[in-house]
Amino acid sequence: MPYRRTERVEARLADNRERILGAARRLITEGGFREAQVGAIAAAADVATGTIYRYFPSKAELFIEVLRVICERELNVVSAIAASGGSASERIASAVRAFVSRALRAPRLAYAIIVEPVDPEVDLVRLEYRRGQVRVFEAMIEDGVRAGEFPPQNAAVSAACLVGAFLESLVRPLSEHSFALEEERREVIEATVEFSRRAVKGGPTP
Amino acid sequence: MPYRRTERVEARLADNRERILGAARRLITEGGFREAQVGAIAAAADVATGTIYRYFPSKAELFIEVLRVICERELNVVSAIAASGGSASERIASAVRAFVSRALRAPRLAYAIIVEPVDPEVDLVRLEYRRGQVRVFEAMIEDGVRAGEFPPQNAAVSAACLVGAFLESLVRPLSEHSFALEEERREVIEATVEFSRRAVKGGPTP
Amino acid sequence: MPYRRTERVEARLADNRERILGAARRLITEGGFREAQVGAIAAAADVATGTIYRYFPSKAELFIEVLRVICERELNVVSAIAASGGSASERIASAVRAFVSRALRAPRLAYAIIVEPVDPEVDLVRLEYRRGQVRVFEAMIEDGVRAGEFPPQNAAVSAACLVGAFLESLVRPLSEHSFALEEERREVIEATVEFSRRAVKGGPTP
Amino acid sequence: MPYRRTERVEARLADNRERILGAARRLITEGGFREAQVGAIAAAADVATGTIYRYFPSKAELFIEVLRVICERELNVVSAIAASGGSASERIASAVRAFVSRALRAPRLAYAIIVEPVDPEVDLVRLEYRRGQVRVFEAMIEDGVRAGEFPPQNAAVSAACLVGAFLESLVRPLSEHSFALEEERREVIEATVEFSRRAVKGGPTP
DNA sequence: CATGAATGAGAATTCATTCAT
DNA sequence: TATGAATGAATTCTCATTCAT
């Protein structure tokens, strides 16, 4: 019954790969890149150290994949919102809300992904991701300016500031261990959305 | 001549302490925490490795002090502006301009202070500093809201976003090796100031 | 059809065994023992890693067998010449010429067999082989001495020196990447033969 | 008393460096490069592993220095004989005798230095040394040919063969653990010298 | 106090060998 | 019997910290 065997073997392989990625992600989430050492990841994934190297050529490559998976997903969420219908203002608000609320659910991970440096190689992925995000917001801001919805502004800088603004709103809660309450989270999210709206649009919310 | 001798010894001690702090700061400025190793700092300060440990109980404590000195100075600059006369709007603009323009002059150092992780212990100082900065901006925003200058808003979140906004405007250029030109720097600074003004005030600049 | 099945299975077994030996030999020829890793040999033989261990108890034993096969063949060539007719002088010249010219055709392999260390166990085989070769030359020298063809000498030492002499003439070219030209090779071969002739016989070639 | 202190400190430093070199040399002598691992060398030198790296940038560099020291000394001995007065024949005989008798005193080391490969970097030193030795003999052979003392021959090949010849006479005893007796050693040495004399000169010793 | 050599716990990576399927 | 993923001991090198002088 080769079919079933192949199936099982592949399942196990995929499983291990996922387990390693999951373990790495978990350790990064808990203690940042610093505590995500090869031995610790192996232990957390319940495999031998050598096994890590069957799936990833180096620790850096493993981290890169962890980052890439998360970043791509986040970028997709924001991009989808940017491509949807609605005014620039509405889309930016949605995008900020989506991003911030998602990140607040795993703040330590968000921090690691957003700012914690590891390795020049790994950092490149992070930077690429941030640049991608900034570009998405930049495009929305330009739309809004063209449509007369927003005042003229340096869209690139505004976009960077916007991304920074909501990143900070993540980093701060991080250090405060609070935000366990859904209500507090909601308040932060909405205030951040409001801030962003004013920042690009100027003029008070009607 | 015990008096003079004591004086000299103390002078030398103070001197060594300063030299070590200066060397550490210089190395962090040039290559971040990563390249500021105890041996390298000792060499740069022209003292023996062991001497470092006579003045600082550990590398972490040395870094903490370096960080603290810089952060305090930055915080003082911003606090002074906050305490000066003028409308909340003007003071926030000045504070943002001051901070961003100062940081752009030593971008590697700014990066290290703002995001580069070192050690949980050291990271605490960084967070404390950011919190301090946020508090200063929070107070200015509250002033503005009370004076009817700004629309009602969650001042704490707005302040955090503001700080994040201008931190990002620093971190990004950092990775792009550009901004060697004074003119580009000025453009970024002014666009950031403008963004901040809109973000807290709403409504376009008159 | 048990008979045919057994036959096929044995054929395949023999086939696998040969394929593994061949792959090991090929890899050693190309990159020496160092690059002939179990995984690489398995890949080159188109079998699974584990399969190697069905045919050979360890990597060392596999290498030993590779070495033994090659060494036996080389020894046979030289022995056949030693047993053939002709004067001791002629036979030694032929043997040296045969050995050197064969080795120069696969220099990396020759190097591995002659000097590259692997494992104490494997090295024993190499030494045994050298000893065998020395014995063959020793016998020819003794023949020549008895026949009055060569001056009296310590045949054992002479034989060892002879073998060393032509091994060196191999090892050196190896490191020089030259000898791509047939003519150069021929010159080295003949000069080596000439050296050997003088060394055992004394007196210039007529 | 700074003078004495400096003196002592330097003595200790030199001592450690020598101890590490000595330990490395000893381990190589006993078990070849293979068994001379950083940890083992440190233990044998009675220092911590890290100490090795204070004196040598890498294991390869340490080995290179071990090799270089020994090779230089050997080369000097042979070169001095080559530069001394006397016929080419006499000088070659002396040089062979000197080299072989020296090497027979530490055969495992001689083997490591002469043939055991380690690392491309390290191997270069070995090759350079062998080439140096061959060149010395080549020059003596050319002298002899010019003087009509030796028959015309390819001096480069003859020199290589000569070096190989006496190297082999070393490698063989190595594997036989014998040659503890002074008399046996002497017999091997003299037979090797005789072989070399005939090889370059042709014609029996008078 | 100052020195800087010595320390040694770690950390990443490799590869022969095993064993469940 | 064949497979090849999993194993984990072994190895090199780093760097904060200590301590004899």
Query: What confidence tens digit (pLDDT) does each residue in D44-72 have?
Result: 999 999 999 999 999 999 999 998 988 89
Distance, Å, A103 CA → F6 C1': 36
Let me know if residue C23 belongs to a domain.
Answer: yes
Contact C/A (≥3 CB pairs under 8 Å):
no
- H or E element in which residue A122 lies: helix A120-146
Let me know if residue D94 belongs to a domain.
Answer: yes
In chain C, helix, strand, coil percent, each to 5? 80, 0, 20
In chain A, helix, strand, coil percent, each to 5? 80, 0, 20
In this predicted structure, what is the pLDDT of residue D203?
61
Pick left, alpha or beta for residue D56 (phi over 0 → left; psi -120 to 50 → alpha; otherwise beta): beta
Q: Taking CB atoms and an 8 Å limit, are B198 and A162 in contact across chains?
A: no
Are both B33 and B65 inside the same structural domain? no
Last residue of a domain, one of A56, A72, A97: A56
Q: Taking CB atoms and an 8 Å limit, are D163 and C160 in contact across chains?
A: no
Average pLDDT over residues A44-68: 94
For A187-198, how does the pLDDT look when each residue is reduced to its tens digit (9 = 90+)?
888 888 998 999
Distance, Å, B37 CA → F15 C1': 8
Are both B51 and B74 inside the same structural domain? no
Last residue of a domain, one of A13, A38, A56: A56
Tell me the percentage of chain A whose pLDDT exceeds 90.
39
Q: Pick the residue with more confidence: A154 or B170?
A: A154
Average pLDDT over residues C61-80: 92
Let me know if residue D206 belongs to a domain.
Answer: no
Tell me the percentage of chain C whose pLDDT exceeds 70.
85
Whether the per-residue pLDDT at A180 is higher than 70: the answer is no
Q: Pick the residue with more confidence: C77 or C205?
A: C77
In this predicted structure, what is the pLDDT of residue D8?
47
Whether the per-residue pLDDT at A7 is higher than 50: the answer is no
Tell me the percentage of chain D whose pLDDT exceeds 90.
42
Are both B112 and B197 inside the same structural domain? yes
Are both D47 and D93 inside the same structural domain? no
Burial classification of residue D31, based on how many CB atoms lie within 10 Å of its CB (0-12 exposed, 13-18 middle, 19 or more buried): middle
Contact B/D (≥3 CB pairs under 8 Å):
no
| d(C-alpha C144, C-alpha C92), whole Å | 10
Residue A121 sits in which domain range?
A: 59-201
A31: domain CATH number is: 1.10.10
The distance of Cα C97 from the centroid of its chain, to the nearest Å, equals 13
Residue B164's pLDDT band, with cuts at 50, 70 and 90, is: confident
Q: Is the CB of A151 under 7 A from strand E?
A: no
Are both D18 and D117 inside the same structural domain? no
Let me know if residue D121 belongs to a domain.
Answer: yes
SS (H, E, C) B87-114: CHHHHHHHHHHHHHHHHHHCHHHHHHHH
Distance, Å, D172 CA → F9 C1': 35
Q: Which residues of B touch A191 (CB under 8 A)?
A: 153-154, 157-158
In this predicted structure, what is the pLDDT of residue A6?
46
| d(C-alpha B200, C-alpha D2), whole Å | 67
Let me know if residue A195 belongs to a domain.
Answer: yes
SS (H, E, C) D154-177: CHHHHHHHHHHHHHHHHHHHHHHC
Residue C169's pLDDT band, with cuts at 50, 70 and 90, is: low
Number of domains in chain D: 2
Are both D63 and D165 inside the same structural domain? yes
* pLDDT, mean over chain C: 84
| d(C-alpha D106, C-alpha D113), whole Å | 11
Let me know if residue A188 belongs to a domain.
Answer: yes
D88: domain CATH number is: 1.10.357.10
Whether the per-residue pLDDT at B112 is higher than 50: the answer is yes
Are both B30 and B128 inside the same structural domain? no
Minimal CA separation from A204 to chain B, in Å = 5
Q: Which residues of B touch A168 (CB under 8 A)?
A: 160-161, 163-165, 167-168
Q: Which residue is nearest to nucleotide F14 (CA to C1')?
A: D50
Place of tokens 């290179």: D64
- H or E element in which residue B154 lies: none
Q: Taking CB atoms and an 8 Å limit, are D169 and C172 in contact across chains?
A: no
Are both D99 and D9 inside the same structural domain? no
Are both D51 and D151 inside the same structural domain? no
Let me know if residue C28 belongs to a domain.
Answer: yes
In this predicted structure, what is the pLDDT of residue B42?
96
Whether the per-residue pLDDT at B45 is higher than 60: the answer is yes
Q: Count the helices and strands in chain C (H runs, E runs).
A: 9, 0
Average pLDDT over residues A78-85: 93
Q: Taking CB atoms and an 8 Å limit, are B164 and A160 in contact across chains?
A: no
In this predicted structure, what is the pLDDT of residue B168?
72
Are both D110 and D191 inside the same structural domain? yes
C18: domain CATH number is: 1.10.10.60
Q: Which nucleotide's C1' is closest to A38 (Cα)?
A: E12
Whether the per-residue pLDDT at C42 is higher than 70: the answer is yes
| d(C-alpha D118, C-alpha A61), whole Å | 30
Whether the per-residue pLDDT at C95 is higher than 80: the answer is yes
Whether the per-residue pLDDT at C205 is higher than 50: the answer is no
User: 3-class DSSP state for residue D78?
Assistant: helix
Least confident span in A175-179, B98-102, C73-77: A175-179
| d(C-alpha D140, C-alpha C194), whole Å | 18
- Tell me the DSSP string of A8-55: HHHHHHHHHHHHHHHHHHHHHHHHHHHH--HHHHHHHHTS-HHHHHHH
| d(C-alpha C87, C-alpha D7), whole Å | 70
Whether the per-residue pLDDT at B8 is higher than 80: the answer is no
Are both B51 and B65 inside the same structural domain? no
Last residue of a domain, one of D56, D77, D93: D56
- Positive or negative, the Cα torsion across A176, A181, A182, A183? negative
Q: Pick the residue with more confidence: C47 or A160?
A: C47
Let me know if residue C109 belongs to a domain.
Answer: yes
Average pLDDT over residues B179-197: 81
Nearest CB to B161; choose among A115, A166, A201? A166
Are both D197 and D104 inside the same structural domain? yes
Place of tokens 């030289």: C78
Distance, Å, D50 CA → E1 C1': 27
